[in-house]
Amino acid sequence: MQVSKREFESKYFKNMLREQGGEGMDTPILKVKDLLLYVRAEFDVFLFFLRFMIQCKHDLAKGNRFAQALHDGGTLVNKRKYQAIGLQFIDPEWRCNHVVCVGFPHSMNNRDFQVAQLLEKTVAVRTLFAFEDLVSAMRQDRAAKGVAAEVCAEVEEEVCDMHDGGKLGRAATGALTRSRKKVPINPFPEGVALMKSAHDMGVHFSYGTRHDSLMAIIGATIGKVPPIKIQVDLNTTRVAAQHSLLHSELRLNRALKSYWASEQPSAWSMSEAQWNTLAEFGGVLSITKRTTANVQLENAMTGSYGALIKGLTMN
């Protein structure tokens, strides 16, 4: 969603800021031009401290590379591609682990060579150090492993177990397939259609008083049910979004069956076999949800969970 600059001049927007600040309705609010100057000044302060910390860390490491680079690509609704680029390193005084976003530049495409150039340029501009002088390892999605090779042959490649676990769930529901010459070799259109029906069902009950009507109908027919709402998977980048959708619908399955029995059946009212399939999908997604959460913990006791649960899921 794009916000017009005129919205920042709206009296309602200014009153909201004053209310949030708690300073009274007479508090002056920056105009758009002054706001831009303020944001840029704050960013300059951020760069000053980032470069100071990087310099201290570089001196402490005696010129050895000490940072891990992180990056991931994304495509917006308007089809513009961006790369989120970050650096991860231990504080020079060994107090904490820093994960710093150093850029979110627009990229023409997501090819390994172009992404590698974008990483090197962004890191150099933000830190005033060459990429190869700072970075000893890289963490990325498995699909972007080639970027590390393009940046520097000596960089250690590490793939993101969170993305791997998420792809297992997407493969189980048919959302992710393998292809040869851009032709899917293991399509699962039935799974895709079933997940779409589950999504449409959640959207249907998210509007108006439909959820209240559902509760009223089932209260008169089957009695007490879990007091929950269907969690629609609107956030398509969140790994556990589809699990939350299915888990909430499966908990309400008796209620939903009664609802469609008393109302006109719709395109997303499901048969018993479809409910059983959703339960199987939910089981796989429940495992991948836990996997993708555990592998993000930098802990020796949970570091091996990813390979173990991935093997169990594949079986």
Q: Which of 199, 68, 48, 224 is nearest to 140 (CA)?
A: 68
Which of 152-156, 173-177, 226-230 is predicted least confidently?
152-156
pLDDT of residue 127: 95
Overall average pLDDT of the 81-97 stretch: 89
pLDDT of residue 178: 79
β 135-140/156-159 pair status:
parallel
Look over the chain and give the mean of its residue pLDDT values, rounded to a whole number. 81
Q: Is residue 269 scored above 80 in pLDDT?
A: no
Q: Is residue 223 scored above 60 in pLDDT?
A: yes
Give the 3-state secondary structure of residue 28.
coil
**How many angstroms separate the CA atoms of 152 and 133, rounded?**
11
Give the 3-state secondary structure of residue 296.
coil
Tell me: the pLDDT tens digits for 7-21? 777 888 888 888 877
pLDDT of residue 100: 93
- CB burial string 61-99: b at 16+ within 10 A, e below: beeebbbbbbbbbeeeeeeebbbebbbebeebeeeeebe
Q: Taking CA 202 as the corner, what is the angle to CA 200 and CA 204, rounded to the nearest 5 degrees?
A: 70
Q: Which of 249, 248, 270 is nearest to 261 (CA)?
A: 270
**How many angstroms separate the CA atoms of 66 and 47, rounded?**
19
The answer to whether 45 and 79 are in contact (CB under 8 A) is no
Please give the structure tokens belonging to residue 210.
């439909």
